[in-house]
Structure 1
């Protein structure tokens, strides 16, 4: 009797736990209130990620260090996600946190540690800044208020440039009279320099926004500079806004960065997607957005026999003939959740992240699989890189690299063509 060869099971240590733990990598501070705020944020993130172990480590001043926190996690788990609790891309993000990760991994060389992108200035963070400015200006009208955005300042030009860019975003989205940038250390212009510039131009209602996550020495320095300026310019009203703090908006951004990293943490086990071929013949498929993504996806959906409905005020020129012939149903208007009633599959491909999020949420409520073209991790399905050769359709999905998926797809096609010779 011949015994068939049974492959050995995958080494459990090679497959990251699902979900992997999260280590939030913060700055640290000598100010107790700032440290307390950081740990308050950790609790908020834990509430948003039930079932996920969430720990915190710090670059300096506040214990534990990042490498200590990560080492403790890796002693129990084969993988972890590290989210830098940093607004910009200064030296801590580029050097200190990666060095802490390398230190922790010396004891666990086979562990998978995914280091995510920094926080940046996504919509929730912008909303939090506007809320702090609104609370500080009180009865002042926005268009009669000058805002001074104070960043940390560092030797990394890109990080300083991101702060200046943020000021422009705050200006255009807030309706303020003016918004200028300053830095509390290292980089110029300094906070006193911009206060003097504002005053010389006639500004007398100024809100200073310390663009920091938590209170600490930087925040204290901002208040001191403003107090010194007030003492010499009694006719100017200068109000200092609160720092961002451990708010819901910040917690949601950290949780989102974690979710992005958690997908990548499974790289050693292959893509986290479960592969299946959808038989869409005669079934309703909704494509929200009529642009370039729809131009590529709609013909493939039609080829599969789907009943395609496109929801979009505008339609790509190449799709117009399909709409005119009745091959697709085009609804020339914005999306509404009821558009997904009866749909088997959904593609969210608009230029608006908010609209795509609404589409994904409506699909989730209907237990309908949805691909988000802008943020794959926030959908419930992914579109693979596909190709056809010699009567075979091949597809490749990676965890976080569509370019690699297309490259692998092309290699698959070469193998199929060689096999058919």
Structure 2
């Protein structure tokens, strides 16, 4: 079923079926560079020896073979050494996709491409899952019995694992089913946070009255409303304090969590407001420079910095930024340093800007194609912050970075993320 595509164990599919595994391993070893290939001859004998020790699992087949070669020859095989494009089609698992009624939609050998191609059908399958739960009454509390992590249902005659989550609606909550555990986890975390907000009206009032709220609202005024900022603040506070993993999945578990964390809400909100204020002050300082007298020779630089500021501050940025919010003052200071010296280093700035924008373009495209409802790949999200660190390294190196970064390091990291 299309709804199951996100759940397919992609790497497990690489191991094919037993009757074809040996042939595939031989083809893979033959695809290696000559410098490595000559160390594993005769190739059929090496494959036979490998298959005596290897057991199909969730690892990529190439990783398992590479580790076998490393142990025997002390030669490390890089992921790029495997020429998967040389494999004949019959050595790559073919996947046939059906809709939730069992009608064949298409087939192919690239699971991620199939996901993108049949995203609409997968959504229909997910909707079919949701329809199964739509008869459930509106809730104002988690169920007494813990929500199971997963629930088995049927689509197109196939047992499909669905993932229940508490989903917040306009004025109530409901239990909904999702086709991917990451999506369910993200929805459930927000549901728990919003339910906790509803259950602690006095703390919510106290947070709204904190002196930092008005300051931050004024600094945020050019970006969004005070209400949007306060909603984001509350959701961030209750997510970080109450809706932490393991997430409560029953009424009793949430009650216990609220009791245990009640005294932490106001102190955390106060601390968070301090970080928000610093972040917004830096953002405003950069924005003022951008709105000053424009040097048309630096129009591209100004446009790039403006786009960076929009990536950092927007309605909902507090919760999205999480712990990275503490780094905002450094990011905005780096932007100011860049703007100050851009006229003197225009050529160098443009070269570095092109490197950053190339990474951002790939990041944005991947993020758009990989997004699964409310959930995003955490590795991909982290990569976005790596790009911010790269900006500091390139344009204001004296400020330092959270981790070693360079264009080459990010290129390598990108390969690791996108090869999964």
Name the TM-score, length of structure 2 as normaliser: 0.26
Structure showing the higher strand proportion among its residues = 1
Name the TM-score, length of structure 1 as normaliser: 0.26
